Amino acid sequence: MRTDDINQMGLGTRAVHAGQQPDPTTGAVMTPIYQTSTYAQAAPGNHQGYEYGRLSNPTRSALEGNLAGLEGAEHGICFSSGVAATDAIARCLRPGDHILASNDLYGGTYRLFRQVLGPFGVDSDFVDMSDVSRVEQALKPETKLLWIETPTNPLVRVVDIRALAELAHSKGISVAVDNTFATPALQRPITLGADLVVHSTTKYLGGHSDVIGGAVCTNSDEWAEKLRFLVKSTGAVPGPMDCFLTLRGTKTLEVRMQRHCSNAQAVAEFLEADPRVARVYYPGLPSFEGHSLAQRQMDGFGGMVSFLLSDDSMEAAYRVLSSTRVFTLAESLGGVESLMNHPATMTHASIPAKERHAAGLHDALIRLSVGIETEADLLRDLDRALSKA
């Protein structure tokens, strides 16, 4: 299928076909794993578009085309991990520049901005972006990048991408959205005005908890050129096997996300109705603050649910966290299997307690990545674990 045909088609079709053609030499329908570091040239400089594996690789190119197709972007650029993708964007800033980011975000992004970029003179601040006026107040003349995560991690707050992109662009600030939680199946930030979409493909895009990867998608030729230069110069590239696995994952993205969403909705409603639970954080609940914005901005509410027990002691949370049989206690998210995580000691431990508390992240909060197992088994598992609280 031709690229311009595919881009007119639905998400499920793009997930399966974008970026991929039958292999030109053998007709292989699945993109081969091009396990090679270098490529033969007919004469110096006369090659078929590939010179050396750090610069590009056909398996990686197929994945890049696929991700760009899913996000509705001109360019897709793959990295060895989500944080490598974030790092590449941040490296385009200069000493004296300032990043304004969501205060409820992936812990590794906070660590990268504060502990790695800070000493190079790139400052960062973190605000609650679900409130546009707070973002406006926190902008500085030096702000060059707005870093949005929505839904946020782990409180799943919903942030108005369109409103923030308009605000940022009126001041010449670039906008990056970490779309890892929603995926392009549920939310396409570029169509809402973002300049850059970032992914940890390790999560829902790969979808099977068997590969680490990252990507940036953009419509800006200028950003794409800068990022490709960084890929070449700093070398955080994914291997061909990793690209193959991720590409296999993205083919089923739409159907997996439908099931993640329906299971998460059932889990959130079950928890909300249970007296042993004090508070449930899920954009699909009509009682949740970001619900109507999520309805406008997203095509589904995602697979991430957080909650607080009525007994909000650490001891009670620990008993629940160690009592499930279907949910596995582990970091990460977005795989077909259900995971349970304790942000304060696991994924968000790199954020100082004072800042976590200021952002509304309770020490006893439990975060769920709801998988695609049978709904009744997930509810029964949670019911039994809650009885241990």
Ligand X SMILES: *Cc1c(COP(=O)(O)O)cnc(C)c1O
Taking the C-alpha atoms of residue 275 and residue 227, their distance in angstroms, rounded to an integer, is: 50
Q: State which residue, 106 or 223, has the beta carbon closest to ligand X.
A: 106
Select from 112, 145, 96, 151 the least CA-distant residue to 129: 151
Binder of ligand X out of 102, 202, 306, 369 (CB under 6 A):
202
Least distance CB 219 / ligand X (angstroms): 21
Query: What is the signed CA dihedral for 360, 346, 160, 205, rounded to 10 degrees?
Result: -160
**Contact letters for ligand X, residues 273-292 (x by CB under 6 A):** --------------------
- CB under 6 A: which stretch of 52-60, 198-206, 245-253, 281-289 binds ligand X? 198-206
- Asked if 160 interacts with ligand X (CB under 6 A), we say no
Binder of ligand X out of 200, 209, 246, 369 (CB under 6 A):
200
| Orientation angle between helical segments 375-386 and 253-272, nearest 10 degrees | 40
Least distance CB 149 / ligand X (angstroms): 6
Binder of ligand X out of 31, 180, 250, 323 (CB under 6 A):
180
Q: Of 308-367, which residues contact ligand X (CB under 6 A)?
A: none
- Asked if 81 interacts with ligand X (CB under 6 A), we say yes
- CB under 6 A: which stretch of 63-71, 94-102, 111-119, 174-182 binds ligand X? 174-182
- Asked if 87 interacts with ligand X (CB under 6 A), we say no
- Asked if 82 interacts with ligand X (CB under 6 A), we say yes
Q: Is 80 exposed, middle or buried (0-12, 13-18, 19+ CB in 10 A)?
A: middle
- Asked if 187 interacts with ligand X (CB under 6 A), we say no
Binder of ligand X out of 64, 97, 123, 178 (CB under 6 A):
178
Q: Of 204-223, which residues contact ligand X (CB under 6 A)?
A: 212, 214
Q: Name 106's Cβ contacts closer than 8 Å, sequence gap at least 6.
A: 82, 149, 153, 178, 180, 200, 347
- CB under 6 A: which stretch of 114-122, 197-205, 322-330, 348-356 binds ligand X? 197-205
- Asked if 59 interacts with ligand X (CB under 6 A), we say no
- CB under 6 A: which stretch of 63-71, 195-203, 247-255, 350-358 binds ligand X? 195-203
Taking the C-alpha atoms of residue 153 and residue 347, their distance in angstroms, rounded to an integer, is: 10
Taking the C-alpha atoms of residue 316 and residue 388, their distance in angstroms, rounded to an integer, is: 8
Least distance CB 105 / ligand X (angstroms): 7
Least distance CB 91 / ligand X (angstroms): 15
- Asked if 150 interacts with ligand X (CB under 6 A), we say no
DSSP-assigned letter for residue 120:
G
Q: State which residue, 65 or 343, has the beta carbon closest to ligand X.
A: 343
Binder of ligand X out of 203, 260, 348, 367 (CB under 6 A):
203
Whether the link from the prior residue into 283 is cis, omega within 30° of 0, is no
Residue 191 has φ and ψ, to the nearest 5°, of: -70, -15
Give me the residue whose beta carbon is nearest to ligand X: 82
- CB under 6 A: which stretch of 37-45, 95-103, 196-204, 349-357 binds ligand X? 196-204
Whether the link from the prior residue into 151 is cis, omega within 30° of 0, is yes
**Residue 11 near residue 70 (C-beta atoms within 8 A):** yes
Taking the C-alpha atoms of residue 66 and residue 78, their distance in angstroms, rounded to an integer, is: 11
Q: State which residue, 102 or 143, has the beta carbon closest to ligand X.
A: 102
Q: Of 89-118, which residues contact ligand X (CB under 6 A)?
A: 106, 108-109
**Residue 341 near residue 147 (C-beta atoms within 8 A):** no
Residue positions annotated with a catalytic role? 54, 106, 178, 203
Q: Given strand 339-341, what is the order of strands in its sheet?
A: 277-281, 304-309, 366-369, 339-341, 328-329
Ordered alpha helix ranges (H), the chain: 3-6, 11-17, 58-71, 82-90, 107-111, 132-138, 161-170, 183-186, 221-234, 240-250, 253-272, 291-297, 314-321, 353-358, 375-386
By the criterion CB under 6 A, which residues form the site for ligand X?
81-83, 106, 108-109, 149, 153, 178, 180-181, 200, 202-203, 212, 214
